């Protein structure tokens, strides 16, 4: 019996110790309106120690007519798992969605429509926050929502798709050797930058690359309780600055000036202390009802800048 023709889209879900959340995203994926012969689902288990394999086995058994595969990637790290995903994929496009997302039934049908309309190199859409625990009074829903407008359009230099909702041609991933394993989450370690680095690489090396955004291609992304803590967000912004420095600064820069960057960091510390004082006492309360709003929307930019200084001095 001959092998079935390859699907248009291979959906890859990389997961680590999130069996309960993984079950949720899989249940939304098996209800897609796109014809099952047009997509496949690949679950990449990145060394989970919980019930992940059992959850996958149950979902596969419950949906015998859907092409769902489970693979184990022993090398720890999201980039390793994502690379294993595209190497396992049979589709023309590889779509990545996070294991703490939920996707609407028409998600893949909308993706197919984008491919038919513009044949992009990579494409994606927004994500909207959802919650399973109460939000603090100060926490605005837009803090964990990423929308780049209401019109479908090519993204320009300096605009990037989000890794929780992104589709990339498999041949491009193969040509560029996928995601940089030095970037991205690894186990419980917070780290960023792998999809941004890949998109930069695409723009640099793929002539005429089209990176496309369509607001219809949306997903919902969980905001767990710890991501609504001010302390978690301060730490996240610092780490994001560190990894932005890795992604956007050449490791072999001939113009590297550590002393200048160190002095810039000292200045940022002074500005941060002053700004935190302003936010606590003198902020515009009509715009920033709680001091946490001021810190999140204003002060944390300096923490991210400090992270970039740290990354430039110690990690580049």
271-316 pLDDT, tens digit per residue, is 999 999 999 999 999 999 999 999 999 999 999 999 999 999 998 7
Task: Specify whether the CB–CB gap between 222 and 285 falls below 8 A.
Answer: no
**Distance from C-alpha of 161 to C-alpha of 124, rounded to nearest angstrom:** 6
Residues 45 and 184 in one domain: yes
Among 228, 260, 284, identify where a domain stops. 228
Shared-domain flag, residues 186 and 237: no
Contact 13, 82 (CB under 8 A): no
- 125 in a structural domain: yes
91-110 tens-digit pLDDT: 999 999 999 999 999 999 99
pLDDT of residue 3 exceeding 80, the answer is: no
> Could you tell me if residue 127 is inside a domain?
yes
Q: Which ranges of 135-257 does DSSP label H, i.e. alpha helix?
A: 170-176, 194-205, 230-248
Q: What is the pLDDT of residues 126-181, one digit of tens each?
A: 999 999 999 999 999 999 999 999 999 999 999 999 999 999 999 999 999 999 99
> Do residue 282 and residue 259 come from a single domain?
yes
pLDDT at position 172, please?
Answer: 98
Both 133 and 278 in a single domain? no
pLDDT digits (tens, 9 = 90+) for 24-71: 999 999 999 999 999 999 999 999 999 999 999 999 999 999 999 999
Say if CB 126 and CB 159 are below 8 A apart: no
Same domain, 51 and 192: yes
Residue-number span of the structural domain to which 184 is assigned = 9-228
Beta pairing partners, 102: 220
Same domain, 154 and 248: no
Task: Say yes or no: 259 and 298 in one domain.
Answer: yes
Question: Which of 47, 26, 29 has the alpha carbon at shortest distance from 39?
Answer: 29
**Residue 272 and residue 168 in one domain:** no
pLDDT band at 251 (very low <50, low <70, confident <90, very high): very low
Query: What pLDDT score does 316 carry?
Result: 73
One domain for residues 213 and 244: no
pLDDT of residue 315: 86
So what's the pLDDT on residue 293? 98
Query: Residue written as tokens 């000036």?
Result: 257
Whether 9 shows a pLDDT value over 60: the answer reads yes
Tell me: do 204 and 220 sit in the same domain: yes
Domain tally, the chain: 2
Chosen domain end from 191, 213, 228: 228
Residue 155 lies in a domain: yes
Provide the pairing of β-strand 9-15 with 39-45: parallel
Kindly state whether residue 1 falls inside one of the protein's structural domains.
no
Flag whether 261 is in a domain. yes
The mean pLDDT value of the chain amounts to 96
Does residue 3 fall inside a structural domain? no
Confidence of residue 10 (pLDDT cuts 50, 70, 90): very high
Assigned domain for 2 exists: no
Residues 134 and 255 in one domain: no
pLDDT attached to residue 291: 97
Q: Which residue has the tokens 């997302």?
A: 101
What pLDDT is recorded for position 250? Answer: 58
* 129 lies in some domain: yes
Note whether 160 and 273 are same-domain residues: no
- Where is the domain boundary, 228, 250, 282? 228
pLDDT at 182 over 60: yes
CB atoms within 10 A of CB 176: 16
CATH number of the domain encompassing residue 215: 3.90.550.10
The first and second tokens of residue 144, run together, are: 């964990």
Backbone angles phi, psi at 11, to 5 degrees: -90, 125
């Amino acid at each position: 019996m001959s092998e079935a023709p390859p699907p248009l889209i291979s959906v890859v879900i990389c997961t680590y110790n999130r069996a309960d959340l993984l079950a949720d995203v899989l249940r939304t994926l098996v209800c897609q309106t796109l014809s099952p012969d047009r997509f496949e689902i690949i679950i990449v288990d990145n060394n989970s120690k919980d019930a992940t394999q059992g959850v996958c086995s149950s979902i596969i058994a419950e949906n015998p007519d859907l092409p769902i595969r489970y693979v184990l990637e022993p090398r720890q790290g999201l980039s390793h798992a994502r690379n294993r995903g595209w190497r396992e994929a049979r589709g023309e496009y590889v779509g990545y969605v996070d294991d703490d997302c939920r996707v609407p039934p028409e998600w893949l049908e909308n993706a197919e429509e984008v491919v038919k309309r513009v044949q992009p190199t990579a494409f994606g859409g927004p994500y909207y926050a959802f919650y399973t625990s109460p939000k603090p009074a100060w926490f605005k829903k837009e803090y964990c929502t990423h929308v780049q407008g209401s019109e479908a359009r090519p993204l320009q230099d300096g605009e990037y798709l989000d890794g929780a909702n992104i589709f990339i041609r498999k041949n491009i991933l193969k040509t560029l050797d996928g995601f940089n394993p030095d970037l991205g989450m690894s186990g419980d370690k917070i780290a960023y930058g792998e999809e941004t680095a890949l998109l930069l690489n695409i723009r640099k090396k793929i002539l005429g690359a089209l990176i496309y955004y369509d607001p219809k291609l949306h997903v919902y992304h969980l905001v767990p309780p710890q991501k609504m803590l001010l302390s978690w967000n301060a730490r996240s912004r610092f780490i994001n600055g560190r990894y932005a420095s890795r992604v956007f600064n050449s490791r072999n820069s001939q113009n590297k000036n550590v002393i200048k960057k160190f002095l810039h960091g000292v200045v940022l510390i002074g500005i941060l202390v002053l700004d935190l004082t302003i936010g606590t006492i003198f902020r515009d309360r009509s715009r920033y009802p709680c001091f946490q709003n001021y810190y999140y929307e204003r002060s944390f930019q300096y923490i991210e800048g400090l992270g970039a200084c740290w990354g430039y001095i110690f990690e580049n």
